């Protein structure tokens, strides 16, 4: 019989209300990154991450995401698809 261990998730939700960079339509995007509090989630120096360490990383991810440009679904559909050929 296997024992199942469930680790607690630490998640943070970011929301941005911006305009499409092609047509200027207002759009709303939401992003929820997460990590778990577990003995396998470690820092670069080998220590186990604390809740505060994880929250700081998640805030950093959200701030980076908020700076990215967005396009509405209609404009994404208009973009040509990239086709890859075999070499």
Distance CA 64, CA 21 (A): 17
Q: Phi and psi dihedrals of 67, rounded to 5?
A: -80, -15
Half-sphere exposure of 87 (CA within 13 A, CB side): 0
pLDDT of residue 69: 92
**14-26 confidence digits (pLDDT tens):** 999 999 999 999 9
Which residues are within 8 A (CB) of 70 and not within 5 positions of it... i.e. 6 or more apart? 16, 18, 20, 21, 27, 29
Determine the average pLDDT of the residues in 36-64.
95
> Is there a contact between 22 and 75 (Cβ–Cβ < 8 Å)?
yes
Which among 8, 31, 23, 11 is positioned nearest to 76, based on CA atoms?
23
Determine the average pLDDT of the residues in 27-32.
96
pLDDT of residue 81: 75
**53-73 confidence digits (pLDDT tens):** 999 999 999 999 999 999 999
Question: How large a percentage of the chain has pLDDT more than 90?
Answer: 76
């Amino acid at each position: 019989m296997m024992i199942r261990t469930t680790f607690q998730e630490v998640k943070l939700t970011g929301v941005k209300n911006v305009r499409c960079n092609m047509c200027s339509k207002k759009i709303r995007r939401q992003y929820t990154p997460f990590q778990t509090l577990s003995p396998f989630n470690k820092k670069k120096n080998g220590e186990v991450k604390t809740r505060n360490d994880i929250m700081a990383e998640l805030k950093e991810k959200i701030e980076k995401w908020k700076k990215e440009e967005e396009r509405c679904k209609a404009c994404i559909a208009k973009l040509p698809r990239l086709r890859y050929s075999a070499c």
